[in-house]
Each structure stands twice: as C-alpha cells, then as structure tokens.
Amino acid sequence: MCRFKNVSIKNLTKIFTSDKKIVTAVDNVSLEIKPGEFICLLGPSGCGKTTTLRMLAGFEMPTSGNIFVGDEDIASLTPDKRNTAMVFQNYALFPHLNVYDNISYGLKIQKRPKEEIKSRVEKILEIMKMEDFAYRMPAQMSGGQQQRVSLARALIMNSEILLFDEPLSNLDAKLRIHMRDEIRKLQQEIGITSIYVTHDQAEAMALSDKIVIMKDGKIIQVGSPIEIYQNPNSAFIAKFIGRANIVKGKIIEIMENIKKVEIFGSIYNIESEKIVEVGDQVEVVIRPESILFNKDVHKGKVIKSIFMGEAHEYEVEMNNEVIEISLHSPRGKKVEKINDYLSFAFDSSAMHII
C-alpha cells in the first residue's frame, strides 16, 4: 500500500496584521493533491506562495481553513508533530556541523538508534552521490553541493510531504537545470508527494504534474503544464507561462465547438468550448512559435530580428500592434531584417480564445 495520503487544503486563509496594516496573504485557497503528485505553486512575487507552504509546514498558523493529510486535519499542529520536510532557498544548513551531522540531525532528535542513523545517512549520501562529502563543513562546499545536502536532510526523514521554497534560485542557470532534473528523478523514484514554490515558469513546467497559479493570494488556475500552456484562462496566465501574443478578435459565426473569429481582417476557425455570441469581442492567445511563415495572410514590418540558435526571434508591427514570432530550426531559412516585411498567418489549431 502506498504510504502517501491525499492532501486536501480547504479554504485556507492567512491574514497578517502589522503596523496597523492588514494583508490577506492567502485568500480562501482550496486544493486537492494526490499521493505522489508533484505540485508547483507558481506566481509573481507577493502572491502568497511561501505563506501557503509555511502553513503546510506548520511555521505559520492559518487564520482559517483546514489542511487534511488523509483524514487528519494538521492545520493547528506544530511543525514537529507534522510529517513534512522542507528544503529552503538558502539551504539553512547548520554551519558548525559537517555534512554527516547535518543530515543525521533530525534522526538524532528522534533518538533513533546509532546503527540505524549510520545506515540511513550512508544510503542517502549514496543516492545523492555525496559519499565523499560526509565530513565536509558547509562553508567548504559550493551552493549546488550545499543544496544537495539540504535535500538529503529532508529526504532522510521519510516524511509524507516534501516542501520546497525556491530551492534552486541561488544557483547558476546550468546547475539549476541539472538540480531540477535530479529533484524530479528522485521524487519519482521515491514517489513522495511534493509541493514546490517557484516563480520560474520553466522550472514549474519541467517539474510539475500540476501547476497551481496564484495571484493576490488566490488560486487562479490549476492544470498540467500542457493544459496551462495551451489553455490559459486569462491573458495574465498566458503571458506568465511562456510568451504569448494576445490579439483581439470578433466572433463571426458559431458552429458548436468551432468559432469563426475575425482577426486583423482574416477569418480563423478556432476550436473552443467558450460560451460566446456572434458579434462578441474576444481575446485570442497565439504563441510566438505557432505562427506560420510565407503565408500571405498578414504582413508586418520587422522591428526586431534576433538569431538565437535554436530559433530566430522576430517582432513585427501590424495595425499598431506588435506580434512576436519565433521561427524554430531557422537553419537555411531566409532571414528578414529590420524594416523588411514579413508574411505570415496564425496557426488556427494552436489558437486559444480566453
């Protein structure tokens, strides 16, 4: 039987009062997390991600609401009474303890037998490929190595839930990607339910089974990376997850799930479940990579033309609007320069009505 349980967050709210100012950091958040799921809380600075995580860990008491792990409401338990482990942005290692003692600290507090501690630490050092570092002090290690130790320290507790608060944001870009992939691999091997806070959308896409997008203390969309990227439910999310052109359109005809939409004078058949009426003005999301070249439908003046290796990035101006266009695998294709005119069409199969 799986030792991990459903986590059910119900109407969680946290109101801070400081300097006579009242801040609703988390506003009536509800979320269901399945055993073994990897969830990312993603959103701009100040949207309540850390506060939500700290309530899960027990470092912050909710103003109202419940956190069920299985059938038990843990919302009012102190951190040591919860079966959660947290990995912090700044590693939070004990500077005066070596790697071995840092990792074994929690087990010592639990008064586990010495032999058990030794074998568990050795096993986790092996998993993390840190066997050679057991007697190093934190100050003698790089950021990436320290973060590995902090991950090992969380994993060794065999907790039910792993919590991460931007654990990779102090690392350089390459190492961040490496560690991100390592975290995902480990998490899948162990099958541990994980909740990960980030404001890096690429990280959220790479790690998550489900992305939870937050804004102003509220959840505004939940879905798999594919769902959120392809069907964002607002212009804010479309622009927050990846790059997006948001163009205005007018509904011309409705044929069940196919809507005929006029955009820049051309008609597109867009698949959409959205309830609209003929004549409605709508916003349509079109990703820069979903634009077709050499189609004589629209013509725009090139105002940006940058070769990025895997893609050539353009911006074109048309009817006083700027459209971002990304030409992937540009090798051997004609390069348009600034002030050239570029002909293109939108790929209707990749368009999404908000």
Ligand X SMILES: Nc1ncnc2c1ncn2[C@@H]1O[C@H](COP(=O)(O)OP(=O)(O)OP(=O)(O)O)[C@@H](O)[C@H]1O
Contact residues: ligand X, CB under 6 A: 16, 18, 23, 25, 43, 45-51, 199
225 binds, among Mg ion, ligand X, none (CB under 5 to 8 A by kind): none
Based on CB atoms, which residue is closest to ligand X, 47 or 354? 47
Least distance to ligand X, CB of residue 186, Å:
24
- Residue entry with tokens 């840190």: 130
216/93 Cα distance (integer angstroms): 31
Based on CB atoms, which residue is closest to ligand X, 41 or 251? 41
Quick one: how far is CA 245 from the chain centroid?
21
Least distance to ligand X, CB of residue 118, Å:
37
Q: For residue 184, report the phi and psi dihedrals to the nearest 5 degrees.
A: -65, -40
143/328 Cα distance (integer angstroms): 34
329 binds, among ligand X, Mg ion, none (CB under 5 to 8 A by kind): none
Element (H, E) at 314: strand 311-318
Least distance to ligand X, CB of residue 69, Å:
21
CB atoms within 10 A of CB 293: 14
- Can you give the C-alpha Rg of the chain in angstroms? 25
9/219 Cα distance (integer angstroms): 12
Quick one: how far is CA 319 from the chain centroid?
34
**316 and 247 Cβ atoms separated by less than 8 Å:** no
Least distance to Mg ion, CB of residue 32, Å:
23
Based on CB atoms, which residue is closest to ligand X, 127 or 202? 202
Least distance to Mg ion, CB of residue 226, Å:
26
94 binds, among Mg ion, ligand X, none (CB under 5 to 8 A by kind): none
Nearest residue relative to Mg ion (C-beta): 50
18 binds, among ligand X, Mg ion, none (CB under 5 to 8 A by kind): ligand X
96/277 Cα distance (integer angstroms): 67
Least distance to ligand X, CB of residue 59, Å:
10
Based on CB atoms, which residue is closest to Mg ion, 50 or 102? 50
Please give the residues from 32 up to 71 whose contact with Mg ion meets the rule CB under 5 A.
50
Least distance to ligand X, CB of residue 212, Å:
12
16 binds, among ligand X, Mg ion, none (CB under 5 to 8 A by kind): ligand X
- Per-residue binding string, Mg ion, 154-193, x by CB under 5 A, is ----------------------------------------
By the rule CB under 5 A, 150 interacts with Mg ion: no
Based on CB atoms, which residue is closest to ligand X, 118 or 199? 199
The pairing of strands 21-33 and 281-286 is unpaired
For 271, 314, 325, 334, the CA distances from 293, given in Å and listed in that order, are: 21, 12, 9, 11
Based on CB atoms, which residue is closest to Mg ion, 50 or 245? 50
DSSP, collapsed to helix, strand or coil, labels residue 347 as coil
Task: Give the type of residue at 197.
Answer: V
What per-residue string of b and e applies to 255-285 under the rule 16 or more CB within 10 Å gives b?
eeeebbbebbeeebebebeeeeeeeeebebb
Based on CB atoms, which residue is closest to ligand X, 46 or 143? 46
**66 and 75 Cβ atoms separated by less than 8 Å:** yes
Based on CB atoms, which residue is closest to ligand X, 69 or 214? 214
